[in-house]
Structure 1
Amino acid sequence: MKKVFYCYVFFALLVLSACRRQLDLVPANDNWTEGEEQLSSFEGIMEAVNGNYVQLRNNNGRLYVLSELRGTTFLIPLPSHLTEYFDIYSYRQDPRLLSTDNYWKTAYALIIACNRVLEGLGRFEKSRLFTDLSLARRALLLHAKGETLFLRGYTYFNLVRLFGRPYYQRPQLNPGVMVKNNTDINFIPGRSTVSEVYMQIIEDLKLADSLMTTDAGRTSAFASRPAAWALLSRVYLYMGGTFDTPDKTLNQQALLYANKVIDTGKFQLLKGNAYDTLLYDSNYNNPETIFASTYIDIYNNLWEDTRAGGLVAAPSLLGAFSQNDYRRDFFEVEQQGQTVFTAKYRSSSPFIHLRLAEVYLNKAEALFKLDSTSQALDALNVIHTRAGLPALSYSDWAQLQKDIIRERRLELCFEGHSGFDDYRNGLPMMRPAIDAGTATEVLPADKRIVLLIPQSEMDANPRMVQNEQ
């Protein structure tokens, strides 16, 4: 029963050990064990926090595969050698899928690693070693604590939107994922409800917000207070109900946090040639990116497969762009003219988790659900006109709703949103046709829209309950 958590702890410790350089450790004169001594100095704690970003990197490619391939952006022509990708793309329900199993394990390894840092920080803050630090170093440690809470909350969010049903569908009853906020191998929880998981996410992110008040001097490769605000905006949008039955209180929160990001003035939308050349390069200081992290092999290989024709941009997506849309430049055609693929990512491109354009789109959707159609249109046009298009005008409620949905699809395509935006809004998803076949409609109530819990977890955890098959 404990073996699965031994596995998580092993992964977490392995990455921490790989990241640690020579740490300035103090003697265990505060009754710390040998393992606890690793987190008994400023340098050791900061190194452990940096190690958690390595864990996040290990998650990036798998998260992308499990989200974007279940959306409407990619097409996999048959016959295909991409077996693992096709299993996800075709909505195959199998608890033994390698991609699902790997993602689950690395996600919980990251959560355990965050818990370990938070427990170590808690001990350190109560010791004389913390009080002996300069005020600047104490502030940096508190910022690092906020970063750790952000990473944990973000990981729970990704898990629950993959393995739990959309929030508007009975969140107090539907099972979400495990909430494990300690490193105790004897504590093996079952699944909390979707609502309980979201409450944990919000708690982590709000506490992170309160702690990251100093300028830590980090790039967008690290979590920040605006990153917590941007993610809270997205989380509340996911909780905010459908277009037909919105929750105005939650959409007000989505709007509040979107405005917090925008009002900082710290981030700017890239325009003109800079939009194409800077947004997806390896520069973590570009002014539109709020939070990004390095790619890993599975992520990079995905883009190499697009260039080999194994994955192509869905024709239905390409057809949604007008001829004058600047975002058409984010597509490339291979030499024979048969394969179209996204040019958003290159070999050294970061995985973009949060950027300013999404925040404006969150604002537009939240305002629309709050019946502020004029302001919603203004926020939407910030993104629409940035793409070189004339401003949209208001004709009626239904058309503005369509414009909001379309703009998210076009602006955020290939960025890990396509697998979620339809379902969280109670909308059917039209999956691209394979070869000469027909497109497939997947309804938001379909059991296939959530992934099955990996069989390794089902075998190891007697409290675990499987999703409907």
Structure 2
Amino acid sequence: MKSATYKKYIFPYLLGATLLGGCADKLDIKPYDGLTIDQTTSTPEGLKAATIGNYTYIKDEYYVRNYHFMAEFPSDNVSLSGTTSDPLFYAYNYRHLKTMAVTTNFFRKAYQAIYGTNVVIEKLKEGQSPELDQVLGENYFLRAMVHFDLVNLFGRPYAQDNGASPGIMIRSNTDVNDLPARSTVKEVYDFIIADLDKAATLMQSEKSSSFASKEVAYALLSRVYLYMEQNEKAIEMANKVINSGRYSLVSTADLPKYFTVANETNKETIFAIKHTLKDDREWGAIGSMYLSDGKGWGEMYASESYRNLINKYPQDKRREFIVPVYEKNADGTVKTDASGNPILAKRNGFPKYYITKYSYQEGVVTLSSPVYLRLAEMYLTRAEANAKLSNDQAALDDVNLIRTRAGLSNDALFTTGDLKGYASVLDVVLEERHLEFAYEGLRKFDVFRNKRTMVRNYPGTHILSGQTTQEIPYTDSRVVFFIPEQEIVLNPKLVQNPD
């Protein structure tokens, strides 16, 4: 009975595989509706099609949208302006449920993707051709990426106990009757590193940022090693990407338009989860929560604390990702108060500050290809690792590179003799990561893996009635989500996270 239930949401992976934009002309794929899995994966063309299907899994809303909700909404970047029936509410306010649809749907979609990669990995023999080795390597990368996303949401940060706590199931085969227990976080990380190393060895094609390549594998390895605090390795992998010559930071002038450009033409993007116009989810898009412009709920705003941080330097171009919304007169002009100042629009008493990082791709309000890895992260990974190795000048050089790109100069840059009130170079680096990667799903992990407290002492519906603060220490049980209750019924070997 358990395996039958498991098969019900694992086996349809090929039937739901749709091609990413711009790929069909590169593959000789015949229609395979009604064919069995063995038939569709018994040829190189079928394995290529299956691989496209695996990319499709990570752009499924159950994966990419729910991952964003769980990674970004618990951060100090956001302020929800009202209650909502969407289960994102429980991710936002740290009041998790064991039956949350967000976690259940993400968990299942993630393991569907892993199953799909395992089908290809088991059936595709290494060394047949560079083209097929590339396909094989992409599946190793995807398998590693999904395990990494899972372990960061359901397992405690590696750095807190060197990975000794429970992680997630490692799935390395297609045996649906093999339902393993949770491996430790360390065991999962070791598995991820092995997959990424294998992927980097196999992949030799310079594909667009919609697909994996060896540089994409190196970039994710740099993040993995940083989270493990293996700082020399994090620097080594970041350098491989930086020195590859494949990527460059977008200009200061182009920075505010970064996320409106198709990822394949953005020279800074290393890997993005590609969405074309046919993938636009409109009201169900990630950007719909952050902005309303004919479409979109526009309910999740930039937090007061993040606005205070980004507004320290008015010339910082990253301020343009935050858009204040003003009340309008009947003729469309902005309302002003008695002093001539524009009047901020509010929802439920909360001032509206829209966020544009998931809007306006190619001019479409709710279209976006979420960026998973980009070059700026490689510089700030290197900076954080150097700060932890006491290489202060090297760390500040990379911070200042990112700040200069943001339009800052002179007294807005750091020196070892002038940290501008910060207690350490590491504090400087982490604050720069906060500024640069707000709303990109990194902040929560940056805070807790560095054994810090998530301070959310600002207005929003995360604050309980009668209170003015919410501070989540890194030791809190709700740093991680509950394993979905349905999955524990399916696999009794799974142990629940503490209440």
Q: Taking structure 1 as the reference length, what is the TM-score of the superposition?
A: 0.88
What pairs up with 1:41-120 in 2 under 5 angstroms? 41-58=43-60, 59-78=63-82, 80-120=83-123
1:290 to 261, 270, 285: 270
Alpha-carbon distance between aligned partners in 1 of 2:476 and 2:283, rounded to the nearest angstrom: 28
Alpha-carbon distance between aligned partners in 2 of 1:70 and 1:198, rounded to the nearest angstrom: 23
Alpha-carbon distance between aligned partners in 2 of 1:160 and 1:331, rounded to the nearest angstrom: 31
Larger fraction in helix: 1
Any conservation in 2 of the 1:281–1:350 contact (CA below 8 Å)?
no
Q: What residue is the counterpart of 1:417 in the other structure?
A: 442
| One-letter amino acid matched to 2:135 | A
Greater Cα offset, 411-420 or 281-290: 281-290
| Number of residue pairs matched by the alignment | 439
Q: What residue is the counterpart of 2:398 in the other structure?
A: 379
| One-letter amino acid matched to 1:226 | E
What pairs up with 1:219-258 in 2 under 5 angstroms? 219-240=208-229, 250-258=230-238
Q: What residue is the counterpart of 1:170 in the other structure?
A: 161
| One-letter amino acid matched to 2:103 | T
Task: Give secondary structure in 2 for the equivalent of 1:305.
Answer: helix
Q: What residue is the counterpart of 2:146 in the other structure?
A: 155
What pairs up with 1:320-469 in 2 under 5 angstroms? 320-321=309-310, 322-336=313-327, 337-338=344-345, 339-346=352-359, 347-390=366-409, 391-395=413-417, 398-435=423-460, 437-469=467-499
Any conservation in 2 of the 1:288–1:357 contact (CA below 8 Å)?
yes
Alpha-carbon distance between aligned partners in 1 of 2:451 and 2:283, rounded to the nearest angstrom: 29
Alpha-carbon distance between aligned partners in 2 of 1:206 and 1:316, rounded to the nearest angstrom: 39
Q: What whole-Å deviation, never above 9, does each CA across 1:271-306 have from its counterpart, x for those lacking one?
A: 132222244422422100000013563895332233
Q: What residue is the counterpart of 1:134 in the other structure?
A: none
Any conservation in 2 of the 1:96–1:454 contact (CA below 8 Å)?
yes
Any conservation in 1 of the 2:218–2:237 contact (CA below 8 Å)?
yes
What pairs up with 1:7-26 in 2 under 5 angstroms? 7-16=8-17, 23=29
Task: Measure how far apart 1:3 and its partner are.
Answer: 4.2
Alpha-carbon distance between aligned partners in 1 of 2:147 and 2:220, rounded to the nearest angstrom: 12
Greater Cα offset, 7-16 or 55-64: 7-16
Alpha-carbon distance between aligned partners in 1 of 2:452 and 2:87, rounded to the nearest angstrom: 27
1:302 pairs with 2:321: no
Task: Give secondary structure in 1 for the equivalent of 2:455.
Answer: strand
Any conservation in 2 of the 1:292–1:354 contact (CA below 8 Å)?
yes
Alpha-carbon distance between aligned partners in 1 of 2:283 and 2:116, rounded to the nearest angstrom: 22
Alpha-carbon distance between aligned partners in 1 of 2:286 and 2:85, rounded to the nearest angstrom: 10
Structure 1's 340 and 208: CA in aligned 2 closer, same or farther, altered over 3 A?
Answer: same
Any conservation in 2 of the 1:367–1:373 contact (CA below 8 Å)?
yes
1:2 pairs with 2:17: no
Alpha-carbon distance between aligned partners in 2 of 1:120 and 1:7, rounded to the nearest angstrom: 21
Structure 2: gaps (5+ residues): 292-296, 328-343, 346-351, 360-365
Alpha-carbon distance between aligned partners in 2 of 1:237 and 1:99, rounded to the nearest angstrom: 27
1:313 pairs with 2:305: no
Greater Cα offset, 327-336 or 302-311: 302-311
Structure 1: gaps (5+ residues): 27-32, 131-137, 241-249
Task: Give secondary structure in 1 for the equivalent of 2:372.
Answer: strand
Structure 1's 377 and 17: CA in aligned 2 closer, same or farther, altered over 3 A?
Answer: closer
| One-letter amino acid matched to 2:75 | G
Any conservation in 2 of the 1:62–1:298 contact (CA below 8 Å)?
no
What pairs up with 1:101-140 in 2 under 5 angstroms? 101-122=104-125, 130=128, 138-140=129-131
Any conservation in 1 of the 2:305–2:458 contact (CA below 8 Å)?
no
Any conservation in 1 of the 2:272–2:371 contact (CA below 8 Å)?
yes
Alpha-carbon distance between aligned partners in 1 of 2:220 and 2:193, rounded to the nearest angstrom: 10
Structure 1's 17 and 371: CA in aligned 2 closer, same or farther, altered over 3 A?
Answer: closer
Task: Measure how far apart 1:235 and its partner are.
Answer: 0.4
Q: What whole-Å deviation, never above 9, does each CA across 1:408-451 have from its counterpart, x for those lacking one?
A: 00100010112211000111111253448423111111101000
Q: What whole-Å deviation, never above 9, does each CA across 1:121-179 have from its counterpart, x for those lacking one?
A: 13xx59xxx5xxxxxxx111101111110011000000000000110233453110000
Any conservation in 2 of the 1:314–1:432 contact (CA below 8 Å)?
no
Coordinate RMSD, CA, aligned: 2.3
Q: What residue is the counterpart of 1:39 in the other structure?
A: 41
Q: What residue is the counterpart of 1:244 in the other structure?
A: none
Q: Which has the higher contact order (CA 8 A, sep 6+)?
A: 1
Alpha-carbon distance between aligned partners in 1 of 2:140 and 2:195, rounded to the nearest angstrom: 5
| One-letter amino acid matched to 1:409 | H
1:205 to 173, 190, 196: 196
